[in-house]
Structure 1
């Protein structure tokens, strides 16, 4: 089977480069081989960054390409066998339909106050001139949002322990963990001090806590509850069937993993760029101030420059580097290459977002590009695309905007080191900053008199 050209180094060398330096490796391949190339990753994988080719792949999920679960098994240890990410076919369609309602429309917006209140509570503990780690702060906020909006857990020993164990488990993203995920034979349990042993014991405890909560909710149903766990328990598919406890548990693990780590990282990048570039900070704060004090989340969500800043943060260093894998079903031509059935294809979100023909001066943070033109779903795809696009996309964007607006309307912040250059690196199966981004609160934010006058008219 003839595949597109790619690096000629031995497969094990390419796998090591992919595990430890995925973004520089992809960039080097794209520079040499163009829009489509093959990495020898056992089995070989074809990477694509051309928007037209991505459209062909992502809109042909049931024709030329399939989105099977087999190639998502790397996520199974964390998410479980019943996750919407690790199932395929009719089961995948059913799970998506059951999961979609809480993340759209008015129901999603009911979580706006939860997000606002959680953010206010966490940032009220910041102290003037005392540096803090942006990522740690964002992780606390997004974890508590998940605990309250997803689980409906506001306090109590179970909520406290669940938050603590989950945070510890999700934060362990060492290179060894990545190797264990990619090579199942290395998942060896040598007791609680071994890497995989620690993970298994923490996962077991998380599952116990989740199962206890699910059982308690089933025994004490409350139709007035609006948290996502309650909605999933009440949900029924087309045949009138409810989700099993195991299905709910695995979907909760998916929402936790996807909704906590990724949003916290995206917020960290946004805070870095906002405070790295004074012009961006000034323009954004001015827009947020114009909404007045105690602005409602719906108004925040519609703010154009805030939206542009969030989009640019998701573009320049996307948290997810790739779309979920597709497998060729019937012979197909892609970027001038004939691919045979069985070929694995990955869309490179990272490379697409770095294309100079789409994003001039692509290495610069320029929110204005999202005000000047509309990008297609195959040019800007931080949440993936097609049948495997992230279910929580609208929720994540909503959450990002509400959190950033609350922070910037409450505090005047600054980077501790204005000259610090931050680059992305692999963090587990996603990406994040290569070093700690330290911020410091200079003073509590005050609305300008002009803003106060305009908001009172």
Structure 2
């Protein structure tokens, strides 16, 4: 049995490469072995990247046998999410919390948010002025933040809404570039030197957000309304098998988890989708033709089920998956994996980015081809932008719903031009991949439906 050899580059150099240019780091090292390689990006213990569908399936379906998925391996997110976040919990506590969180994100509940998402999208896009450039990701982030505050937090207007919107925008700035993201990866930088220091400023903003969220939870308890359908109210009403509700601290941490996991990521995915649609005229033409088959007031679920719209969104999530890695798994005891002997304590991740760029799964992987998803059905271990297994993203359904409805609304309402002269590259934003510069576009005017589709201009 073979021993998995690590990459020879110095651990500190590897970590810097991983933080500041993760795509190049992954694409360089996968040349050693396209299926699996060992790094030292997390220090001495190392991190093993698994890049084949067979390996990822084995990794994510043997959680209770050879591997475990302890929340502690996501410790770098603790300052953002808190101790009670489902992402940081293990075992029975994780199962309990996940069970309490699941109902609001499935089935009929999704319908409640469809018209809200469309309304928020129309409101955000209405701020565009003809002939004036805008940054696509900024608008998408405005949309997803409003969805989080209204559909998830259940806060629709007023001073608390305005204050939370401002504070959350500032809080998220801690991860808005590779440089600022380094605060998460290098704990030595997490020093409170006062309100003007980067970490000190973050902590003070976080305290203000906490205060507002606890006030909202307390007010909601005092004036309980069982008819509310926002996700916070549904979480407050949920009970575990012992009849116990979530504590205020658990509610606060899960709200922050949904904020960080569902706001930034969805905004980035939506921006990438807009970029590719307007970069590829044939994709735009085909998507507009599909959207024009809809009645003017189409039901959100009808839009959600459109096959080519779904294929476009899937291809955007494939080519630049927002999350690069699956939830880490830890080797419980010495075991054989993919022909290698692994020691107890080793940490493995499925590399979603490298999986999605395998030539044998996705011919010409650098090309944007939505038709892949019409011609073939991929397994959850071949296409997994939201992870897979027991740690799959809870907000997956809401993110997909939001992405499709927002993209469809914008395409039906506006005539846009992509202003990027060269291909937009991905860069680290926290633990995600985001477009450099945010994607510059211009609104030419309102779009009028017609049988002959005008192909968008690019610069």
TM-score range, shorter chain: over 0.9
Q: Which residue pairs with 1:36 in the alignment?
A: 36
Structure 1's unaligned 5+ residue stretches are 452-457
TM-score (norm 1): 0.96
Deviation at 1:175, TM superposition (A): 3.5
Deviation at 1:420, TM superposition (A): 2.1
**Residues 9-408 of structure 1 aligned to structure 2 (within 5 Å):** 9-41=9-41, 42=43, 43-173=45-175, 174-408=177-411
Distance in 1 (CA, whole Å) between partners of 2:367 and 2:285 is: 17
Following TM superposition, the consecutive aligned residue runs of length 4 or more in structure 1 with deviations greater than 3 angstroms are 174-177
SS in 1 for 2:241: coil
Distance in 2 (CA, whole Å) between partners of 1:396 and 1:309 is: 15
Contact 1:4/1:46, CA 8 A, preserved across alignment? no
Distance in 2 (CA, whole Å) between partners of 1:361 and 1:119 is: 33
Distance in 1 (CA, whole Å) between partners of 2:93 and 2:311 is: 36
Q: Deviations over 1:17-42 (max 9, x none)?
A: 11111111111110123311110131
Q: Decide which moves more: 165-174 or 138-147.
A: 165-174
Q: Decide which moves more: 19-28 or 319-328.
A: 19-28
Deviation at 1:435, TM superposition (A): 2.2
Q: Which residue pairs with 1:454 in the alignment?
A: none
Q: Decide which moves more: 165-174 or 392-401.
A: 165-174
Deviation at 1:339, TM superposition (A): 1.0
Structure 2's unaligned 5+ residue stretches are 454-459
Shift of the 3–243 alpha-carbon distance from structure 1 to 2, 3 Å rule, reads farther
Give the root-mean-square deviation of aligned CA atoms: 1.5
Distance in 2 (CA, whole Å) between partners of 1:243 and 1:11 is: 41
Deviation at 1:294, TM superposition (A): 1.9
Distance in 1 (CA, whole Å) between partners of 2:37 and 2:274 is: 34
Deviation at 1:450, TM superposition (A): 8.5
TM-score (norm 2): 0.96
Q: Which residue pairs with 2:457 in the alignment?
A: none
SS in 1 for 2:415: strand
Q: How many residues align?
A: 450
Shift of the 200–222 alpha-carbon distance from structure 1 to 2, 3 Å rule, reads same
SS in 1 for 2:39: strand
